[in-house]
Amino acid sequence: MAENKKSRVKQLFEATFEPRLKTYINVVVTGTMAITIFGIVLIPLWLILGRYYLNKYFENLYCELTTRALHFKKGVLVTTERTIPLDKIQDLTFKEGPLLKYFGLSILKVETAGQSSSADGDMKLLGILHAAEFRQMVLEQRDEITYNRSGDFDNSGNVHTLEPLLKEISETLKRIEKKS
């Protein structure tokens, strides 16, 4: 049965990431280091090792939309992998600031049902190419999944898939009444 379920899950889209993401991260890290005393000392080390780290980070970025979930992976030293079922996604927030726009980047923040207020509850996708179109694909697939799962009503609002179950419950209740 698990194989049957897995065979129904198909990849719909694999996101690609904007190469300028590496430059953006480099600017942000270097800028952050420049405003701290301890960071200023680390800037030469970052400039030497940062390019290698950013290349590895970029190579490890992965995001895919399947028929049932959104999968995301990132990291070099510490790897983060997240799978969010589409029916748990409440919203995808699209963010662009002046620095992000300059680099041609945006952030998609995934908000899920029942997430805590901590940062762990959020999933931020930074630097996806054609982020607005990707957002629309995810929302459309989420709507399709939730509509099909809650497809207990036809277009006129009448119950149709629950009818056999309701009849069975009714018959069981009638039998119970006759016995008492």
Report, as an integer, the average pLDDT of 82-96: 90
Q: What's the whole-number average pLDDT of the chain?
A: 84
Residue 65 buriedness (CB in 10 A; 0-12 / 13-18 / 19+): buried
**What separation in angstroms does the CA of 20 have from each of 5, 81, 106?**
38, 22, 11
Q: Which residue has the higher pLDDT, 134 or 9?
A: 134
Q: Which residue has the higher pLDDT, 9 or 108?
A: 108
Q: Is the pLDDT of residue 164 over 90?
A: no
Strand partners, 65: 13, 70
State how far the Cα of 23 lies from the Cα of 17, in Å rounded to an integer. 13
